[in-house]
Amino acid sequence: MNLILLSTPLFFILMAVEWLGGRLQHRRVFRGADVFANLCLGTAQTVFAAVSAGLLAGSYVTLYSLRLFDIPSTSAWAWVVLLLGTDFCYYWFHRASHRIHLTWAAHAPHHQSEDYNLSVALRQGPIQPLFSRVFYLPLALLGFPPAMFATAVALNTLYQFWVHTELIRTLGPLEWVFVTPSHHRVHHACNGRYLDKNHGGMLIIWDRMFGTFEAERERVTYGTVKPVSTFNPLVAALTPFRELVATIRKTPRLLDKLKVPFMPPEWSPPGVEALSLDVPPDRPRFEVHAPRRVALYVLLVGSLSLALILAFQVRISSLSPAVRLAFVAWFLASLGGLGGVLEGRRWARPVEALRLAAVPLLIAAL
């Protein structure tokens, strides 16, 4: 049972509530193009997780077979310890994902949005699970059963959804223990004192203990230090890796080339111009002004594509490797094609034509 997929209707209900709350406060909470990119990137991670489920679960199951203890899933104390342990492991993954260039490239898509709303919670780096799962492996050695662990990770992820909003300011004494919207707004900031702070998932105590806590005091600028400047989800997902490769290619010395993926993202090797970390508080947001018919096309065709993607995830265990590979190729074309149409790219129309022509074949395969 996938708790994240089952919670999808609730996500959209809460987004509707947030939109209504913004209207009542005379605020524009959502921008259509940004929401499109957020949802597509979130879907991309679920597709990757479905395709690579065996790999992601296999390492945990293998280590669980070597477990030190037999922990019963019926124990209430075991669940308490597991939830704390899961959040502790998440903290260190999250902190590492901001301080190691390679893992930052996988995590960066989550931070690219220059808005802050509940749809941003669904925006994820497609291949991030390849790195995050490594940090949870000690729980397998301790003896927490795989199904129990999967539930705890899902609950940790679900908790983090609601903290992606500007409509909730502060929550009094709860701010000392739990991660709140105020804390997480700081985490999504790219300006000044806020960089690389507040990495906790459910509990803020880890940041207080390990020196990465910062309270929300001044105006927040959202996004990455170097803005991605696109609503094309495929381009957004690839850009951090392209920038990583570009830095490696520009680095003169071989030893420094080897160091780049493992150094902090802002590290500049000798001979490479340093990235400016000075982000003005009034930095303009990237915007596109698509005609109404284009926006309607992306909405309708994107929704139909999403339905096909969900059907693929439900049936994936019964599909052959060739069909899975074909579907992934079609899905990548969907991300790039729809994003290109939204931004008015001339190459997007032929891509969309080929992608739509392949739909009957995919439906037949499913």
Choosing from 160, 192, 210, the residue where a domain stops is: 210
Are 75 and 197 within one domain? yes
Are 197 and 307 within one domain? no
Instruction: Using pLDDT thresholds of 50, 70 and 90, give the confidence band for residue 365.
Output: confident
Between 161 and 281, the higher pLDDT residue: 161
Q: What is the pTM of this model?
A: 0.94
Are 121 and 22 within one domain? yes
Task: Please check whether residue 119 lies inside any domain of the structure.
Answer: yes
Task: Please check whether residue 131 lies inside any domain of the structure.
Answer: yes
Tokens of 355: 């992608």
Compute the mean pLDDT over every residue in the chain, rounded to the nearest whole number.
94
Dist CA 244 CA 190 (whole Å): 19
Are 51 and 193 within one domain? yes
Choosing from 162, 186, 210, the residue where a domain stops is: 210
Of 232, 341, 340, which Cα lies nearest the Cα of 286? 232
Are 55 and 178 within one domain? yes
Choosing from 192, 210, 228, the residue where a domain stops is: 210
Task: Please check whether residue 27 lies inside any domain of the structure.
Answer: yes
Look at residue 339 and tell me whether its pLDDT is greater than 90: yes
Q: Which pLDDT value is given to residue 275? A: 83
Task: Please check whether residue 137 lies inside any domain of the structure.
Answer: yes
Q: Which domain holds residue 337?
A: 292-365
pLDDT, mean of residues 238-265: 96
Are 188 and 300 within one domain? no
Instruction: Using pLDDT thresholds of 50, 70 and 90, give the confidence band for residue 277.
Output: confident
Are 202 and 296 within one domain? no
Task: Please check whether residue 261 lies inside any domain of the structure.
Answer: no
Domain count of the chain? 2
pLDDT of 319-336, one tens digit each? Answer: 888 888 899 999 999 999
Of 349, 344, 348, which Cα lies nearest the Cα of 336? 348
Dist CA 282 CA 259 (whole Å): 34
pLDDT of 117-148, one tens digit each? Answer: 999 999 999 999 999 999 999 999 999 999 99
Q: Which pLDDT value is given to residue 323? A: 87
Are 188 and 49 within one domain? yes
Residues 6+ apart with CB under 8 A from 157: 4, 201
Are 155 and 59 within one domain? yes
Are 340 and 198 within one domain? no
Look at residue 168 and tell me whether its pLDDT is greater than 90: yes
Task: Please check whether residue 142 lies inside any domain of the structure.
Answer: yes
- For the stretch 10-19, contacts whose Cβ atoms lie closer than 8 Å and that sit 24 or more positions apart, written own/partner, are 11/118, 11/121, 11/122, 11/161, 14/118, 14/161, 14/162, 15/117, 15/118, 15/119, 18/117, 18/118, 18/165, 18/167
Q: Which pLDDT value is given to residue 84? A: 98
pLDDT, mean of residues 252-279: 92
Task: Please check whether residue 268 lies inside any domain of the structure.
Answer: no
pLDDT of 43-83, one tens digit each? Answer: 999 999 888 877 888 999 999 999 999 999 999 999 999 99
Task: Please check whether residue 328 lies inside any domain of the structure.
Answer: yes
pLDDT of 91-117, one tens digit each? Answer: 999 999 999 999 999 999 999 999 999
Q: Which pLDDT value is given to residue 1? A: 61
